[in-house]
Each structure stands twice: as C-alpha cells, then as structure tokens.
A and B are shown apart, each in its own frame.
Chain A
C-alpha cells in the first residue's frame, strides 16, 4: 500500500474533519503493549498533533522503543486503543542492516522513496534528487557516494534520518537519534527537528537528555508504565523524575535544575 498517499489524504484532502481532529496524527488511550502477549508498557495515553516535538523519556528498558514500535506495529497491542492517522517514518535505535551490504549512503536514502512508488517503478532521477536534498539537510551530501557500512555510527544515523525525510511522512519516530552524534551534528539535528516541526510534522524522539526534552513541546515519561504526559514545564518535577528514573536523579548545581545520571548505554557495534 501507498503510505505517502495516505499522508496526503490527511494533509487536507477529501477527508474533512473538525479542525482539532485533523491536527491529530496519533492518539493512544489506556494503551498496553508488549511482546508475545506479555505487557512491556502499560496504560499509555498521549496525543501527537502536527508541529509537535514530543520527547520520550525513561530508563533503559523503560519502554521508549516499545512505544515507538506500537505505532509501527512491531509490538503487539494488548489492550486500550491506538489510532494512527498519518504515514510514519522510523529511524531505529539499533542497526539492523549488515555493514558489508553493497550500498552507498545515497542508495540508502533513495530507499525511502519506495514508499511512494508502485512496485514496477524503479527510483529514478527525481528520487535521487530528493535523496540528495535530504542528505544535504543532515549534512551528509559530501559523503553521498561513500559505502554505507564504512561510515561512522553517527554518520550512518544521519543517513537513516535522511532516508526518513525522503519518505516524507507526517509522523517521524526517532529512537535516540542523538546517540553517537558529536556536538555540531547534534546541534544540526536539533535545528532540523525544529524545522521539521514547523513543516507540520509530528515528531516523537526517544532521548536520555532531560535538558533537550525541556526545549520541546511535550514529554512522555515511561517506566514500564506511563508516569506522565504533558508540557515539560508542568511535568518534569522531582516526583515524576523519581518515578521515572528511580534513584538516579541528581541536582545540577549551576542551573538549579534536575538531571539524571548518564545511563550505561549498551553500545551498538
């Protein structure tokens, strides 16, 4: 099926809905999801509208990835409701592709265009131009011809983000996209996320960076269940953070704010 067409429909095509409803890209109510019938996160209720950047916060194993997978259908819905009314593009947390695969960064970005092509059409010049433009936005256009597997982990991450941009989806699911990025790439990605939000997309971003989450529109705090959902200014208080992260909360001396101990992150190969 053609997801890009589905997104255009939502974009204000033939389906006329109430304005508020039209802006909702995804909505969960009392949602419990898991794997093989075993719940991983319980009682999740949130709403993603156009133009919103939503941080997913939580400890390792808290369920950030599982929440994103509930939207893609990779995790099973056990109870509650989930409505996704836009096309989505995902940038997964762990690399699933083999690094000896014979493709360039450009080839990988071009793959995003398959969503909008009928099965007998090959990506052509137009699709390559779109892919180059997306690589430009993530600062990877100079390395477009490089073999994907020979790029650094952070560079590969940026290529996968470009692939998601080529998909031109209404809903972007980014699973810890800042992991492995250096400071300047990080800034660039943050700017890009802001620009994508002003393009009326909804963006869900799993992150371990509290300060970053404070700059965005909404946060979902997860620790095997939903602890809180709302604007960071209202939600990110000590009680919520303690329930989310357990005892790993520390006061940040200079800012007077709160932070978490950096998680011991499992490294990707």
Chain B
C-alpha cells in the first residue's frame, strides 16, 4: 500500500467507507424510487438519543443506534395515531423532539467529549469488531436485495398490479424500511448522525443521472459511493479535513459532475436508434 493507505487506521477506514458505500449505494436506489428519502433522514436523526446514550454508558454505538431506531419507529407509530395529526406532522414532531433530546444529552457535563463524532461520524475510529459487524450487515443487505429484486421492482413499478400478482406491496415496503434501518446502522458509525443520509441518497441520485435500468444503476451507485469514500479519505488525509465531511463533499461533487455531464450529453441522446 502506498500513500495515505499505508496506515492501518486509514486501511480500516477505507474498508468501513467501502462497506457503508455498498449498503448505502445499493439501497439508496430503492429509497429514491420508493419515495423514502424523508423516511431515511427521519430514521437517521430520530435514533440520535440512542447513540448519545450509548456513548454516555460506554456501550457499543451500534447497540445504541439499534435501540434508538426501534424507539423512534415506535414513537412515530404512536404519534401518528393521535387523531387530527397527519403522518408527516407526527414524524416531524417526533424526530425533532428526539434529535433535540439527543443534543441536550450530548451537551450535558457528563457527556464524554465526542458529540462531534456522533453528529459527523468517526470513520477513522473503526475497530475490527466494528468492521466485522458492518461487514455482516452489509452482506445481509446485499443478499436480501438480490433475493427480492424482481418483487421490489414490480411493486415500485405499479403497486396495484403487483398485488394482483400476489406480491404484497406492504411487505415490500416493510422489507425496504428494514433494510434501510440496517444500512443506517452500518453508516452511522462512520458517517455520523447528520451525514449518513448523504451516503444513502447521494450515490443513488448520481447513478440515476447516468443509468436507466435498475441493476446497472445499483452497481454504478455502489461504485460511486466506494470511490467517493476513498477520495474523501484521501482529501481528509492531505488537507486535514474531517473524514466524514470529506466523503460527503466527494459525493456532492460526483452528483454535480453527473448532472452537468448529463446536460452536456443531452443533445446526443435525443437521436433515437431506429
């Protein structure tokens, strides 16, 4: 290994960023076409108190994030049953309250120095156990996406028609949301509470500019996420910027490049093949 990646800390960071990229990139395509961008942001922010509590208690962050996710999901479910409160309003109220609670906890004098890491991630701090857990989750997510591909595609295309095929749209939604929760768990360690959404939406939005088939779009999205991860780590190494934020910046750059590239390409693609 040469350059920044001769350092074991950077090597682990690269593995972590790649795993996050594989999950976020592949799942992000479904998040976009299932209209779940808002849900993913809400889930990521709603689990913040769990993350802070885990940091305060010295427990593994992934455990705190998992408990926080379940609590946030339950709180949203309860709040949206209050008569006269719409679902979106319920989500907004619950998520903002939870996020505020997390910030309060994190700013308390008992808090270990590290709210920065919780909000923006600490991809350089990944240890071998973190990597193993991320790897297992990533494997599960990719396996599930492969297994369910045809059905997810049919439900995203036409929910009513999928039902007539005996494919349950509710089950497909639940599957995507569950996988989304898993991907957030993988990503939140390295990218932090605020930036994990960037890995879920950024690569998929970029790949969507360049591909008009689901499977190639997912592969492209994973590639974009992994490359942006490596590029962000290099940037952080040489320029001394925060690692998570550098990865997010690389993702934004990739998206802008794809959007502009597509625009300049447009006149050519208008010519149709006979």
Which residues does A use to contact B, with CB under 8 Å? 1-3, 72, 74, 88-90, 92, 96-98, 101-104, 107-108, 110-112, 114-115, 117, 119-120, 122-123, 147, 167
CA distance A111 to B172 in the complex (A): 15
Whether A111 contacts B157 by the Cβ 8 Å rule is yes
Contact of B153 among A72, A90, A111, A119 (CB under 8 A): A111
Q: Collect the chain B residues with CB atoms within 8 Å of residue A92's CB.
A: 160-161
Q: Is B77 an interface residue (CB 8 A)?
A: no
Whether B166 contacts A2 by the Cβ 8 Å rule is yes
- In the complex formed, the residue of B with least CB distance to A173 is B164
Contact of B157 among A1, A108, A123 (CB under 8 A): A108
CA distance A92 to B156 in the complex (A): 16
Q: How far is the CB of B211 from chain A (nearest CB, A)?
A: 7
In the A-B complex, the 6 residue pairs with the smallest Cβ-Cβ separation, listed nearest first, are A115-B165, A111-B154, A97-B158, A102-B214, A114-B165, A147-B212
- The answer to whether residues A102 and B154 also contact, given A3-B166, A92-B161 and a CB cut-off of 8 A, is no
Q: Collect the chain A residues with CB atoms within 8 Å of residue B159's CB.
A: 96
Whether A101 contacts B164 by the Cβ 8 Å rule is no
Dominant SS at the B interface?
Answer: helix
Whether A114 contacts B154 by the Cβ 8 Å rule is yes
Contact of B161 among A96, A103, A120 (CB under 8 A): A96
Contact of B150 among A90, A97, A101, A122 (CB under 8 A): A122
- 28 residue pairs of the A-B complex, CB under 8 angstroms, read A3-B166, A72-B164, A89-B164, A90-B161, A96-B160, A97-B158, A98-B33, A101-B156, A101-B157, A102-B211, A103-B157, A103-B214, A104-B213, A107-B153, A107-B213, A108-B157, A111-B153, A111-B157, A111-B162, A114-B151, A114-B167, A115-B165, A119-B151, A119-B167, A122-B149, A122-B150, A123-B150, A167-B165
Q: Which of A92, A102, A122, A123 has the most CB of B within 10 A?
A: A102
20 additional A-B residue pairs with CB within 8 Å, beyond A89-B164, A123-B150, A147-B212: A3-B165, A3-B166, A88-B164, A92-B160, A96-B158, A98-B157, A101-B157, A102-B208, A102-B211, A103-B153, A103-B157, A103-B214, A114-B151, A114-B166, A115-B165, A115-B166, A119-B151, A119-B167, A120-B147, A167-B165
- In the complex formed, the residue of B with least CB distance to A148 is B157
Q: Collect the chain A residues with CB atoms within 8 Å of residue B161's CB.
A: 90, 92, 96, 111
Q: Which of B151-187 contact A (CB under 8 A)?
A: 151, 153-154, 156-162, 164-167
Q: How far is the CB of B133 from chain A (nearest CB, A)?
A: 26
Q: Is B217 an interface residue (CB 8 A)?
A: yes
